[in-house]
A and B are shown apart, each in its own frame.
Chain A
Amino acid sequence: MPPEPALEVRDLRKSFGRIEAVAGVSFRVAAGEIVGFLGPNGAGKTTTLRILAGIFPPTSGEVRVAGHDVMREPLACRRAVGYFPEYAPFYPDLSVRAYLDFVARLKRIPRRARADVIGRALAACALETVAHRRVGTLSKGYRQRVGLAQALLGDPPILILDEPTIGLDPGQVVEMRELLGGLRGARTVFFSSHVIAEVAALCERVIVVAHGRLVAEGSPAELRERLHRRRRAVLRVDGPPAEVAAALGAVPGVLAVEPTAGGFVLEGEDHAELARAAGDVVRRHGWTVLELRPEAVGLEEIFLGLVGDGERGS
């Protein structure tokens, strides 16, 4: 029998009045995995994460956290989870340490271990220097770290993070990413994001939702493979743009020509064929190739493609 998955969701549905935020989503996250949860705004990501964290119950479907059913054993589920909500709420008038002390008590961390546990969370999130300050006086980046520190407190085996880098400046985003990367292997991490580079950098596996439904699941490479059959190349030539475009469009191996700033993006069956076609055209007209390189398909495009499929499917 395979080991118990850390998170298991079967046909999850959640309605708010007449709005169905999550319309039948199923997935599993194995223990120790780092999984990204992608989707446009309003796709049902936050709702799904809130259900996993125990904030509210599902309308229907089965949700198991660390092997416990969220409906029947809510406290056992919550004990296994550290949750980081979007926009990290906080009590502005408590100091960082007082706040973490409060959370440690709620997490039933025994008195003797408490100081040590809080110390480790402060260190993990680089908060020692501001431990005595009121959370309300801290910058956004520090507040997010306080939010992460409360999730890490007590070393829960599963971390559920909702948009951990939203609203941070680029430097803070890098720090937060390093922090998350540092958790690799030790914890199961399930986090939502719409910053795709972040997901690609951190995750072994991605789950994509749109309109409350799951639209794709797999490693970033698998998703790339699945979506993009066509290859693309970037070409820069010193000829007159209109003529170059017309000439390239007339070559059978080139399926599409798209002018971009200072050059063209060509689409074809494979890169070698595109290069050959471009070379022929340039030689015939006596122009010079300034640049010719294959273009990697970004996760952004994959994401848009997948979400677009979801839209058409619904």
Chain B
Amino acid sequence: MIVLAVARKELALYFGSLLFYALAAVFLVLAGYRFYTNLGFFVLMGGTDLARGLWQYQLLDVEGLLLVLVPLLTMRLFAEERKLGTLELLWTYPVRDAEIVVGKFVACLAVVVVLVAATAVHPAMVARLYVVRPGPLLAGYAGLVLLGAAFVGCGLFVSALTESQLVAAAATYGILFFFWMVTWNEAAVSETALRLLVPFSLFDRFYPFARGAIDTRDVAYLGLFTVTCLAFTLFALDTRRWRGLR
């Protein structure tokens, strides 16, 4: 399977790079710190509903950390291959562009899933002392993975547009932050605009997951966002290829 071969190589490069370990350490340490403070707050407030009082805040914090993490993971996917010149070598093998795109996407998503899954130690610790209902948490983690997939798709697309990893990361931050901030000043935006924009906010789509609810509309939107990004990536590769750009 070509997709798996591409994914394997990407994973080998991730797990062989110092950047991955640095990012993983930062991500896990910050997630742990947020868990520590969120738990302290929950206990201080004498909270009883774990889903609303603790997991919601913790999941939203992890979401924020993903926003910081993912562009740094995706930036190299195509930009590095362009810079090295290996992308054009890939094009000389009997491989479809779609297989390369999906392989890279799967590898990067797997890295995100590994890191997100590692934060499950926090609920596991709570579960040793307390009764934890798994339902809301599972919904929350499903939401994180879907959101992670959307972020990875976005980063992959941007990475296919440039040979500079820094430019790729910066532009991915730009796009993701736009989708985050788009509904911030709800009062200042006209009501019509708000109604048009809210459905497109990746982050508003995540709130229900954080509260333990899976809405098929949210799943569909995040899925569609990801697929659209992958299609754009293919289109970007094809365009550059026709123009003879590396």
Contacts and interface: CB of A to CB of B under 8 A. Distances in A.
A55 B89 CA distance: 8
Interface in B71-93: 84-86, 88-93
Interface string A72-103: 00011011010101010111111000100011
B13 interface: yes
A75 B94 contact: yes
Contact of A105 (B5, B13, B84, B243): B5
Interface in A101-147: 102-103, 105-108
Contacts of B2: 105-106, 108
B96 interface: yes
A93 B17 contact: yes
B88 A55 contact: yes
B242 A106 contact: no
Contacts of A75: 94-96
Interface-central residue, B2, B8, B9, B242, by most chain A CB under 10 Å: B9
Interface in B47-63: none
A147 to B, nearest CB: 9
B84 A90 contact: yes
A76 B96 CA distance: 12
A23 B92 CA distance: 23
B244 interface: yes
A91 B84 CA distance: 7
A90 B244 CA distance: 20
Contacts of A76: 94
Interface residues of A, number: 32
B12 interface: yes
A55 B92 contact: yes
A89 B86 contact: yes
Contacts of A53: 91-92
Contacts, number: 78
B242 A56 contact: yes
Contacts of B8: 102, 105
Given A57-B242, A81-B92, A90 B9 contact: no
A249 interface: no
A64 interface: no
Contacts of B86: 89-91
Interface string B78-119: 000000111011111111100000000000000000000000
Contacts of B6: 106
A213 B241 CA distance: 23
Interface in B5-38: 5-6, 8-9, 12-13, 16-17
Nearest to A104: B5
Contact of B88 (A47, A85, A93): A85
B13 A106 contact: no
Contacts of B89: 83, 85, 89, 150
Contact of A54 (B12, B13, B17, B91): B91
A50 interface: yes
A67 to B, nearest CB: 15
A204 to B, nearest CB: 25
B84 A94 contact: no
A105 to B, nearest CB: 3
Contacts of A108: 2, 94
A100 to B, nearest CB: 12
Contacts of B5: 102, 105-106
5 contacts: A50-B244, A54-B92, A78-B94, A106-B95, A107-B94
